[in-house]
Amino acid sequence: MDHSHHPGSELPFWKRKTGIALIMLAVIGVFYVAREHFGHISQALPYLILLLCPLMHMFGHNHGGHSHRSETDTPKDDNRK
């Protein structure tokens, strides 16, 4: 039997049984902590929402109004005037 290590044959951590179990435990833990401290969390929600826009810009979110295309990238058969 060949037990040599083949590149790409190993699953990522989050797809293994231990990874799935740890992720489930973390989600359950976060749920109970959030449930117990909802009063504190709800007071911070307006500030967390205000932080979303800069964080989305830092991680590359595009609001839709910003276009990174130049004038030369437009299609040649565009009939708009």
Please state the domain extents for the chain. 13-60
User: Which two tokens mark 78?
Assistant: 């565009």
Could you tell me the pLDDT band of residue 13, with boundaries at 50, 70 and 90?
confident
Read off the tokens for 27: 């989600």
pLDDT of residue 69 exceeding 60: no
pLDDT at 25: 97
pTM for the model stands at: 0.43
Task: Give Cα 35 distance to the centre of its chain.
Answer: 23
Residue 29's pLDDT is 95
- Pairwise pLDDT comparison (34 vs 28), residue with the higher score: 28
| Average pLDDT value for the chain | 77
